[in-house]
Amino acid sequence: MAGLPRRILKETQRLMQEPVPGISAIPDDNNARYFHVVIKGPSESPYHSGLFELELFLPEEYPMSAPKVRFMTKIYHPNIDKLGRICLDILKDKWSPALQIRTVLLSIQALLSAPNPDDPLDNNVADLWKCNEQQAIETAKDWTRKYAMAKNNNIQ
Amino acid sequence: MSGQMSQESDNEYSDDHIEDDEDEYDNYYYDNNDDLDLDKPKKSDDPEYFEFDLLKVEDVERLLNEEVEALCTSLKITPSLAKMLLHAHGWQRSLIIERHQRDPEKFLVDSRIVADKKNISQDNIMGLTHTCPICVQQLSKDEFQALSCQHLFCNECWDMHFNIQINQGLTTGIECMGKDCKLLVPEDFICGILKDTSMREKYFKFSFTDLIKSHSQLRFCPGPNCSIVVQAKEPKAKRVECNMCKSTFCFRCGIDYHAPTDCDTIKKWLMKCADDSETANYISANTKDCPKCHVCIEKNGGCNHMQCSKCKSDFCWMCLGEWKTHGSEYYECSRFKENPNIANESVHVQAREALKKYLFYYERWENHAKSLTLEEQTFKNISTRIQEKVMNNEGTWIAWQYLLKAADLLKKCRYSLQYTYPYAYYLDRGGRKELFEYQQAQLEAEVENLSWKVERAEISDTGELENLMDIAEKRRLTLLKDFLEV
Ligand SMILES: [Zn+2]
Ligand SMILES: [Zn+2]
Ligand SMILES: [Zn+2]
Ligand SMILES: [Zn+2]
Ligand SMILES: [Zn+2]
Ligand SMILES: [Zn+2]
């Protein structure tokens, strides 16, 4: 791709050379702004041993505008909706050009370890999470088994 | 009335003149009646009294510039900085000056204008070139700029940052690009970097709006495409009417005027109504069955005192009870009877009761809103009726004007009555609620009396109608005086 900003090249290089533990992000062969992402469900979370696929896209204005990220694998989480959209402040109004793809992926991984039902994207999930956490966690584990363990992705 | 006068009036009967003429008559009275000043609402006895000015954009620009200049002179700072301080502190100049004098450095840090010493970046330019952390380009050192936080970025990255923020509607809130840096970027810094002049114009247009919104004494008229700005010395929840677009609204929150309910309560109520719109949907019927003979009756006027066309029984549209009981001291139609033992009931019973209570108030709120739209129609019907009457030589045009005045007053009273329901819904049980409900019931009874009479009045009823108008308005003012926060 002609005219890919230096910033994106640098970030991609570093992602490949020093990958974040538990996360793989590989640029698409045909579009260097599109990344295939896989996040490993953090241990001690209901997503443990699940492999979650995401897509990440760097818009024209990146890094002035935030990357667009979405879960492709179904996941039961109060801050992630049916379409896989993520409620994360740094992806919206708290975005700063000083942040990077790396920081975004780390934040998403952290969100899996610590769901935040007080700032929900999916109200039904958040309500259950608040009034019956045990049952919500069981459902999340169930969905992880059903949707995030079928394939055997390679991940470091 | 002299013959000559009626002849003159003859030409003015056509519909489209009626409203203008009414104003002229008002002026005529104002100019000729010396006693009238005594009848004008005075601060002390009108709970809705409110002083405000309607400003045009040029007036507002001048006003804001004067305030900015005054602060510049007192604190010896640039206009760009003065604007930031005024915006951040609701344009309270004396408070700004006081805090600035006490500890200027801390004040500027707290206002996010100067960087806190411990947050200043050590990322200095050593050689002749530097690498921009955003675009990762190595550039000559004079391509870089930073605010007092010393977060260095190249001009091109700054420019792109500002363009994107302004296109999203941000101006006074634009922050430094440094990680976790909350420092605000001043106007002169932004304009020094923006290359595109149209972007600069956009910045000034949006920031002007922002500055007005941050000013506690100013409020944009919420009317569609209206550019009027209202100025009031005290930001109170009072009624404002814009003379450009004719919108009326609450000065404090900008939505429809809502006395006696306060701004927070009406917001809560409207949100609840929007959330529960499906539950309440079944209410929106325009027909009900007569409680006596069960014939289907359609409501086509504002009045809730219904008379069955078939069996002639009088009943109340709201509760379907006999109308006779409604005018009395024991008027109960507007009062929701709460189960006094509710705290000891099961969760299910409580939930059902809560829904019942909400629907009770919602139904009455909604019904008055509907009656108000129906009364718009009544108003038009009255104008037509007056024309017919005058043509048939039953009274003169000016003699019939009292009916239009009555219809106008009716609208005002019913409007206040509608807004008593959210107030009552959120009011805790006790003596104050009892007093409120008593006054509400009194007002309700008078509004329906007036409504019934307005739809049927003859020229000979002037005296009676004027009496009813007087009582209804007194009831309305008594309720507002006791319960509207001043
Ligand atoms: Zn740069
Ligand atoms: Zn900074
Ligand atoms: Zn207006
Ligand atoms: Zn208000
Ligand atoms: Zn009947
Ligand atoms: Zn009734």
Contact A61 B160 (CB under 8 A): yes
**Residue B259: which pLDDT band, with cuts at 50, 70 and 90?**
very high
A156 in a domain, yes or no? no
pLDDT for the residue numbered B295 = 82
With pLDDT > 70 as the criterion, what percentage of chain B qualifies?
Answer: 88
Do B456 and B392 lie in one domain? The reply is yes
pTM: 0.70
B226 in a domain, yes or no? no
With pLDDT > 70 as the criterion, what percentage of chain A qualifies?
Answer: 94
Task: Report the DSSP pairing between strands A34-40 and A23-27.
Answer: antiparallel
Contact B164 A63 (CB under 8 A): no
B103 in a domain, yes or no? yes
Residues with Cβ < 8 Å from B79, sequence gap 6 or more? B68, B69, B72
How much is the average pLDDT of B454-470?
A: 87
Domain-ending residue, one of B187, B214, B241: B214
Do B433 and B398 lie in one domain? The reply is yes
Question: Whole-number mean pLDDT of chain B?
Answer: 85
Do B197 and B312 lie in one domain? The reply is no
**Residue B328: which pLDDT band, with cuts at 50, 70 and 90?**
low
Do B76 and B29 lie in one domain? The reply is no
- B316: annotated active-site residue: no
Do B265 and B413 lie in one domain? The reply is yes
Do B44 and B165 lie in one domain? The reply is no
For residue B42, the domain's CATH number is 1.20.120.1750
For residue A83, the domain's CATH number is 3.10.110.10
Number of structural domains in chain B: 2
Domain-ending residue, one of B180, B214, B248: B214
Residues with Cβ < 8 Å from B458, sequence gap 6 or more? none
**Which residues make up the environment of ion ligand 1, defined by Cβ < 5 Å?**
B 132, 134-135, 154, 157
Query: How far apart, in whole angstroms, are the C-alpha atoms of residue B425 and residue B269?
Result: 9
**Residue B329: which pLDDT band, with cuts at 50, 70 and 90?**
low
Q: Does A152 touch chain B (CB under 8 A)?
A: no
Among A10-19, A102-111, B23-32, the least confident range = B23-32
Query: How far apart, in whole angstroms, are the C-alpha atoms of residue A79 and residue A120?
Result: 5
B274 in a domain, yes or no? yes
Q: What end-to-end distance do the CA atoms of chain A give, in Å? A: 28
Q: Which domain, by its residues, includes B277?
A: 15-50+259-483
B247 in a domain, yes or no? no
Q: Does A8 touch chain B (CB under 8 A)?
A: no
Do B187 and B275 lie in one domain? The reply is no
Q: Which domain, by its residues, includes A28?
A: 6-147
Residues 111-150 of chain A with CB under 8 A from chain B are none
Contact B179 A98 (CB under 8 A): yes
Judge contact between B472 and B450, C-beta under 8 A.
Answer: yes
For residue B135, the domain's CATH number is 3.30.40.10
Domain-ending residue, one of B214, B231, B246: B214
A104 in a domain, yes or no? yes
B142 in a domain, yes or no? yes
Ligand nearest to the CA of B146: 2
Number of structural domains in chain A: 1
Q: Which residues of B touch A97 (CB under 8 A)?
A: 134, 157, 161, 177
Do B207 and B277 lie in one domain? The reply is no
B77 in a domain, yes or no? yes
Judge contact between B454 and B464, C-beta under 8 A.
Answer: no
Q: How far does B134 lie from chain A, in Å, by closest CA?
A: 6
A14 in a domain, yes or no? yes
A153 in a domain, yes or no? no
A113 in a domain, yes or no? yes
B308 in a domain, yes or no? yes
Q: Is the dihedral of CA B193, B198, B204, B207 positive or negative?
A: negative
Give CA separation, B399 vs A15, B6, B18, B403, in Å.
87, 11, 14, 9
**Residue B26: which pLDDT band, with cuts at 50, 70 and 90?**
very low
The rounded Cα B329 to chain-centroid distance in angstroms is 34
Question: Six-digit token pair at A104?
Answer: 């975004």
Q: Give distance in angstroms: CA of B384 to centre of ligand 2.
A: 69
pLDDT at B210 over 90: yes
ipTM, interface predicted TM-score of the complex: 0.75
Query: How far apart, in whole angstroms, are the C-alpha atoms of residue B273 and residue B120?
Result: 50
Do B359 and B455 lie in one domain? The reply is yes
B246 in a domain, yes or no? no
Do B119 and B137 lie in one domain? The reply is yes
Do B22 and B90 lie in one domain? The reply is no
Do B313 and B455 lie in one domain? The reply is yes
